A and B are shown apart, each in its own frame.
Chain A
Amino acid sequence: MTAGGVALDLRGIHKRFGDTIALDGASLSVASGTLHALLGENGAGKTTLLDVAAGLTRPDGGALTINAQPVRGHTPADARSAGLSAVHQHFSLVPAMTVAENVALSSPGLFRTFSASDAAERVRAIATAAGFRIDPSALVANLPVAAQQRVEIIKALASDPAVLMLDEPTAALSPSEAADLFVWLRAFVDRGRTVVFITHRIREAMQNADVVTVLRSGRTVMTSAVRDTDESSVLTAILGEAPIRLHGTPTRNLGSAAAMTPVLVLRNSTVIDAGGVTRLSPLSLAVHAGEVLGVAGIDGGAQHALLRVLAGRRRPDSGTAELPTTIGFVPEDRLHDSIIAELSLVENLALRGAGKRHGRIRWSDLTNATRQAIRGFGVQARDEYAPASSLSGGNQQKFVLARELADSPAAFVAENPTRGLDVRAASDVLERIRSARDRGAAVVVYSSDLDELLSIADRIVVCFGSSVHETPLDAAVIGRAMVGAR
């Protein structure tokens, strides 16, 4: 840690959205040349605080200083010219454009004499300096999530910022990719820059950051050097009460008769995408009632195709898939594949089963069902007519889970179901999945968090490339299988 000045100082920030108080006098002070982690539950105000710093949200009150200069304007351009760039959790990329074009689009000043080859060279230089391998001429639409995030980071680096803020940068990364990212962030900090990252993973913060700040209900409740604190103190600060256990232990259901009933059965199923690339090599697999099949795999592996085949969302290109008629499915990209942000919760609930419904819609029944789902799963929403966009990420996810589990489906498939959720919400979600398993559903869970996967899975399959192999429940074996070592 270099004993520099204060790179970023947010003091007494207030922000209210309608009836919701997002920030209630939150403060964040980040010393120059440090790696600073910002923790807190969903809705604690972390992202809003980042948005205030990045000039995306105008605070109702409080002061913002970047590199000892008070920032008066509240636009992204003001923040950027003061030396601060942000990488947001939800990407803002144009899928039909190349990597280079996306970078050029976000920083027009740097590409005044824009030509495709100039931009590509420029982007390659930034990427190489950042230690990222990325093809500047690749179409963003064809990139996996992790690579898209790298494009976002490159976009932020294009203005050569002194302070880089990242909102849940590892949420979409595999463990090894996350480790690489932190190696790079550390190197960035060692060059005198400053990094603030938002995370839900306490261990990640403790292992990588110099200082942690914890927000709770819009207030700063803790700021401490990592060496002066420990995981349980941070957890207590986040939750504001006696900590809950991070991961439950799996309760095996094997031995009961139900466990032998195959529910999801694949026979030599393959998936080939529109470009002719094999996404899933011939696979035969059975998932039984009352068990959780954990799926591990690094970004770009077969898990994406495998989960969609198992969830009945994609027909295999060859081979067969025997599936029950109703399958609950929680895809990773909630706002794209699962809910429609501008619509009410009732309409979003009605979405499930919309393809098969006939005749008239019974809105009163659906409204009641929505109320039940909100209550039953502890979704925090104004009421059942609130637009889905007004819910925090964790509450959106709880709502999706409530919807997908409402009719007690025979099978349930979830893809990174705790992505972006705080510990309490994540633990809630995992508990719901366990109870679905306990009542006899065949459950498939993909998670990029290996600890989480081991805490819930009864069996594990690992995807590498287009192939899928079963492995024992052993982190070391799984980790080797994830990178293709047998």
Chain B
Amino acid sequence: MKPNMASLLASTGVVTCALAVVALGIAAAGYDLSGAARAAVEGAVGSPFAVLSATLKRTAPFLMLGLAVAVAFRAGVLNIGAEGQFLAGAAAACAVGLFATPVLGRATLLLEIAAGMVAGACWAGIAALLKRRFAVAEVVSTLLLNFVAANVVAYLVRGPLQEPTGAYPQSSMLEPIARLPLLIDGQRLHAGFPIALILALATWWFFRSTAAGFRFRMTGSGRAAAASAGLINVNAVQMHALIASGAIAGLAGACEITGVTYVLYEGLSPGYGYTAIAVAMLGGLHPLAIVASATLFGALGAGADAMQRNAGVPAGFAVVAAALVVLGVLAIPRTLRLLRPAWPGRP
């Protein structure tokens, strides 16, 4: 991968402009801009705690979900349902963790992860089936399934998975042995982060070096030519891409619940699955570039939280910044997007 200088500058420009516009908004709303900026920077990168327990902790779900979106988009499947697949994965991992820990002990963790991936894949599989059988556009079905998933979680935490006292709409806490290990004492960074990094490398290798990854890319770049010249079964490829994308999003959900929250509750995802679309697009759908854009979004989220906590500026400004970044990325010409994917067979 060779980031080209012009594209790097264009993307940096977009991010800078977005932040500048948000800064203007913060100032115009009557907040102390320098105080807010200081709080945000300190909260995102100001200390080891900020980096490890705030920024990188958030980077993990952004990275995994960004990869999930990229896998589908690369194959020409517009999976807008990472959010729902994330929730399905989290709920399945939680259920397994609650019921299997007494029996399986340490091995539960593996089963939780597996259950999360299977649940995410199945949730995406519903959309894949609807597409295959009834030609339902996946943009619509995956989006709508997000709301179904949110409601299923709402039901689970008031019904089968509710904590025993019945006082709160949430599950019991996972046992410590059923959680992802923390990487550093006293920090909240968990094993999900290295898993996400490995996943990024694996996805990059998959697209770069495997025949199946090549089929994904060809199907996404030119469906008709892929079918006619490549004799690729493009319908099957797109189904596989959607299901794989769901499995990755489910993995993200499982990691979030076993690594961060330890309980299932309704607001588990503050829209991670939607932000992931921005993450993937800023990264030009390239797995390694998505590592960079996920980190940026992780820092943005951490900074926004700190800004709200310490300077009283609503974190919603960060949402605006994220949205501006996406609009900015769409506005720059294709050839100048960040870290334009350079696959083998390209200079």
Contact = CB atoms under 8 A, between A and B. Distances in A.
Contacts of A343: 221-222, 345-346
Contacts of A367: 345
B110 interface: no
Most A CB contacts (10 A, CB to CB) among B210, B218, B231, B347 go to B231
Given A331-B228, A336-B225, A354 B211 contact: yes
A320 interface: no
A385 interface: yes
Given A336-B224, A359-B211, A360-B209, A352 B345 contact: no
B346 A361 contact: no
Contacts of B347: 344, 383, 385
A459 to B, nearest CB: 26
A340 B346 contact: no
B211 A329 contact: no
B345 A339 contact: no
B344 interface: yes
Contact of A354 (B209, B226, B344, B345): B226
A296 B10 CA distance: 53
Contact of B228 (A313, A360, A384): A313
Interface string B218-241: 100110111011111100000000
Interface string B104-130: 000000000000000000000000000
A361 B229 contact: no
Contacts of A341: 222
A346 B345 contact: yes
Interface in A349-367: 350-361, 363, 366-367
A385 B345 contact: yes
A24 interface: no
Which of A339, A352, A358, A363 has the most chain B CB within a 10 Å cutoff? A363
B214 interface: yes
Contacts of A337: 224-225, 228-229
Contacts of A354: 211, 214-215, 218, 226, 230-232
B232 A363 contact: no
B230 A353 contact: yes
Nearest to B234: A355
Given A357-B211, A360-B209, A361-B211, A351 B225 contact: yes
A60 interface: no
B230 A355 contact: yes
A159 B229 CA distance: 39
A204 interface: no
A319 B142 CA distance: 40
B147 interface: no
B99 interface: no
Contacts, number: 89
Contacts of A313: 228, 231
Contacts of B209: 360-361, 363
Binding site secondary structure of chain A? loop
A281 interface: no
A338 interface: yes
Contact of B346 (A312, A353, A356, A385): A385
Nearest to B334: A342
B345 A351 contact: no
Nearest to B213: A361
A351 B229 contact: yes
Nearest to A387: B346
Given A337-B224, A360-B211, A361-B214, A351 B346 contact: no
B221 A342 contact: yes
B230 A361 contact: no
B229 to A, nearest CB: 5
Interface in B328-347: 343-347
User: Which of B228, B229, B232, B347 neighbours the largest number of chain A CB atoms within 10 Å of its CB?
Assistant: B229
Nearest to A356: B231
B82 to A, nearest CB: 26
B146 to A, nearest CB: 28
Nearest to B219: A354
A363 B224 CA distance: 23
A347 B231 contact: no
A340 B218 CA distance: 8
Interface string B124-159: 000000000000000000000000000000000000
Given A347-B346, A363-B344, A367-B345, A339 B211 contact: no
B229 A329 contact: yes
A403 to B, nearest CB: 8
Nearest to B211: A357
A52 to B, nearest CB: 23
A141 B221 CA distance: 21
B233 to A, nearest CB: 7
Contacts of B211: 354, 357-361
A351 B344 CA distance: 13
A347 B225 CA distance: 12
Nearest to B210: A360
Contacts of A336: 224-225
Contacts of A347: 214, 218, 343, 345-346
Nearest to B237: A355
Contact of B215 (A338, A355, A363): A355
A360 to B, nearest CB: 5
Contacts of A340: 218, 221-222, 225-226
A354 B232 CA distance: 6
A275 to B, nearest CB: 16
B230 A338 contact: no
A350 B215 contact: no
Given A354-B218, A360-B209, A361-B210, A366 B345 contact: yes
A340 B230 CA distance: 11
A356 B215 CA distance: 10
A339 B229 CA distance: 7
B8 to A, nearest CB: 20
B230 A351 contact: yes
25 contacts: A312-B231, A313-B228, A313-B231, A329-B229, A337-B224, A338-B228, A339-B229, A340-B221, A340-B222, A342-B221, A344-B345, A344-B346, A346-B346, A351-B229, A353-B231, A354-B230, A355-B215, A355-B230, A355-B231, A359-B210, A359-B211, A361-B210, A363-B209, A367-B345, A384-B345
Q: Which 8 A-B pairs have the closest CB atoms?
A: A346-B345, A340-B222, A355-B231, A354-B230, A357-B211, A337-B228, A363-B344, A385-B347
Given A342-B221, A344-B347, A353-B231, 14 more contacts: A329-B228, A337-B225, A338-B229, A344-B345, A346-B346, A347-B346, A351-B230, A352-B229, A353-B230, A354-B214, A354-B215, A354-B231, A355-B215, A361-B210
Interface of A: 312-313, 329, 331, 336-344, 346-347, 350-361, 363, 366-367, 383-385
